Chains A and B, each alone.
Chain A
Amino acid sequence: DTGVSQDPRHKITKRGQNVTFRCDPISEHNRLYWYRQTLGQGPEFLTYFQNEAQLEKSRLLSDRFSAERPKGSFSTLEIQRTEQGDSAMYLCASSLNVGSPLHFGNGTRLTVT
């Protein structure tokens, strides 16, 4: 069990550029989640997958955000036309079942200049 892995750890981009992050969950975990966290706040839910199906997406999530989990294993989160307000820590987590605790990766820190 190598834990949840995220790549890259840090990303600096200019406003208007597209960015993509990758998450590899714990291998036997079916559920995969994306959260966003800004300074002084708790993680904010973005979306989650059960295997390859995206089951829920935050109502607050802009259409510029899209996530995929094509084979039910790793997942990608893409942000198009980045804005300065997108600067945050993007956290990926996985869990075994409904109601099971989430295990987080180390996160990707995005800075939009």
Chain B
Amino acid sequence: QKEVEQNSGPLSVPEGAIASLNCTYSDRVSQSFFWYRQYSGKSPELIMSIYSNGDKEDGRFTAQLNKASQYVSLLIRDSQPSDSATYLCAVEISSGSARQLTFGSGTQLTVLP
């Protein structure tokens, strides 16, 4: 089992719809969770961070965290073609003597005009 798992997609939604991206993780004591967006050929850029159970909203983006289920999701409301990118879930995972940020393989999202 991978430490951080995402559906690779591709996920296609029409413009204006809600895109829902999901992520599960293996480390029960993880405390820090992030969503990054990565355009083709570019480096990841931070969209959201979430540390507590529940929802966190920032503009059109909502991150949801459920530590009991080891599940974190990202909702994108009113999706725009410019949201078309790969979305990476990142979780702080215990590894050796330290904790490090571990990424999923990403979900490719296409927003159709």
Contact = CB atoms under 8 A, between A and B. Distances in A.
Contact of A107 (B43, B45, B49, B98): B43
Contacts, number: 56
Contacts of B99: 98
Q: Find the residue from A33, A35, A42, A104 having the highest chain B CB count within 10 A.
A: A42
A33 B95 CA distance: 14
Contacts of A42: 4, 88, 90, 103-106
The number of chain A residues touching the other chain, given as a range, is 20 to 34
B44 A43 contact: yes
Mostly, the B contact residues are strand
A47 B42 CA distance: 21
A29 interface: no
A69 to B, nearest CB: 15
Given A56-B97, A56-B100, A99 B105 contact: no
B105 A45 contact: no
B98 A55 contact: yes
A104 B46 CA distance: 9
B20 interface: no
B101 interface: yes
A101 B96 contact: no
B62 interface: no
A104 B97 contact: no
Interface of A: 33, 35, 40-45, 48, 55-56, 59, 89, 91, 98-99, 101-107
Given A45-B101, A56-B96, A91-B44, 14 more contacts: A33-B100, A42-B103, A44-B103, A45-B95, A48-B98, A56-B100, A59-B96, A98-B99, A99-B92, A101-B34, A104-B43, A104-B44, A105-B43, A107-B43
7 pairs of A and B residues whose beta carbons are closest in the complex: A42-B103, A104-B43, A99-B32, A56-B98, A42-B105, A43-B103, A101-B46
